[in-house]
Amino acid sequence: MRIISTTAQWIKLRKTLKAQGRTIGLVPTMGALHEGHASLVRRSAKENDVTIVSVFVNPTQFNDKKDLAKYPRTPQKDAKLLSAAGADYMLMPEYDSLYPDDYRYRVSENKESAILCGAYRPGHFDGVLTVVLKLLCLAGADRAYFGEKDYQQYRLIAGMKEAFFLPVEIVPCKIVRESDGLAMSSRNALLTPENRKIAPQLNAALTGGKTAAQAKAKLAKAGFKVDYVQDIYGRRFAAAKLGSVRLIDNVKI
């Protein structure tokens, strides 16, 4: 696996790959990778000639600077995981390389981004959509892979692809869970040992409650500070905090 540190370096490589007629799969990430990410990489490697994984902690999607500062960063560990999963390239650009305009230009969506997580994280989805659009264009991807844990994010990105006629397939991938049901997330590493024991109750409440209200009550009783539990899109969504760590999950209903 080759590590790419600048957008110019990748653009040169991309031209060669495209000239050879090779298909490109993209897995956008913010690093601190786990088995959930590895599953996306393996699928991309199976379905494309070349797989590139971006590792970039995107500051424009953080509405809380403290949250940005504490987001886990494990580049050496990430590189080993990606190499083992079959990635061909690991893209690790600096902010100035990916945002030469310093975020003057941005993508906004004014309907679905205002609900669920969007109601609690102002500006979050502007940052997500903007960086993903940049990465899709930069990668020249034929397919891009997104986990369904961030299902609202997936819907918005799929909608952006349609709105802007992007020549890429947006591929949703099933949630990968720990043996106790907790959805794999980079943020799980920030949980205290005590809260890690409580965290699986997030999924248990979503699957065990007959209604969203019942699920919300179960989470509050377990010690979560609940942002929302809501049924929409044929799924039950939740976001809740344990200590300072915000967890999200969703299940089909």
Tell me the C-alpha distance between 39 and 175, whole Å. Answer: 10
CA angle 193/173/66 to nearest 5° reads: 40
Q: Are 172 and 43 in contact (CB under 8 A)?
A: no
Question: Choosing from 34, 37, 216, 236, which is the catalytic residue?
Answer: 37
Cα 203 → chain centroid: 18
H helical segments located in 31-110: 35-47, 65-70, 75-85, 95-98
- Altogether, the residues listed in the chain come to a count of 253
Instruction: State both tokens at 111.
Output: 């309907």
User: What does the DSSP 8-state code read for residue 6?
Assistant: -
Is 37 designated active site?
yes
Give me the active site residues, please: 37
